[in-house]
Structure 1
Amino acid sequence: MNQTAVLHGVFAVLLVAGILVQQTPLRVGLIGLGVVCFVAGIVLARRDDDGGAAAAE
């Protein structure tokens, strides 16, 4: 499975868990971790795209 897809899937799970949790610090932590995973997935996707563009030049 693609690493980007895994990170975005983890983001979705952490986001839902953060919404369902009642404790505020835990909620903020889970949503924050989800955002970090989402951004990491975007960075991985961009890094993979940039490698192909540099090789074409």
Structure 2
Amino acid sequence: MNLTAVLHSGFGAAILAGVLVSDTTLRVAAFGLGAVLFVAGIAVSRRGDGSDAA
């Protein structure tokens, strides 16, 4: 699994956690973390580092 896929999977997990928690502070933190992971996945994909075949 390449780094781009890992970062985007982390994005999905963070968004899911944000939906499931009830505390507003934790929800905002989870959504923020998801946004950072999503942007990092795009940056890695554009850089071309995530194309290693395993």
What are the ranges of 5 or more consecutive residues in structure 1 without an aligned counterpart?
Answer: 50-57
Letter in 1 for 2:40: A
Between Structure 1 and Structure 2, the one with more helix by share is: 1
Bigger-Rg structure (1/2): 1
RMSD (Å), alpha carbons? 1.1
State the identity %: 57
Question: Could you list the runs of 4 or more consecutive aligned residues of structure 1 that deviate by over 3 angstroms after TM superposition?
Answer: none
Which whole-Å CA distance do the structure 2 matches of 1:2 and 1:24 have between them?
A: 33
For these two proteins, the number of residue pairs brought into alignment is: 49
Alignment of 1:17 with 2:13, yes or no, is no
Q: Gaps (5+ residues) in structure 2?
A: 50-54
TM-score under structure 1 length normalisation: 0.82
User: TM-score if structure 2 supplies the norm length?
Assistant: 0.87
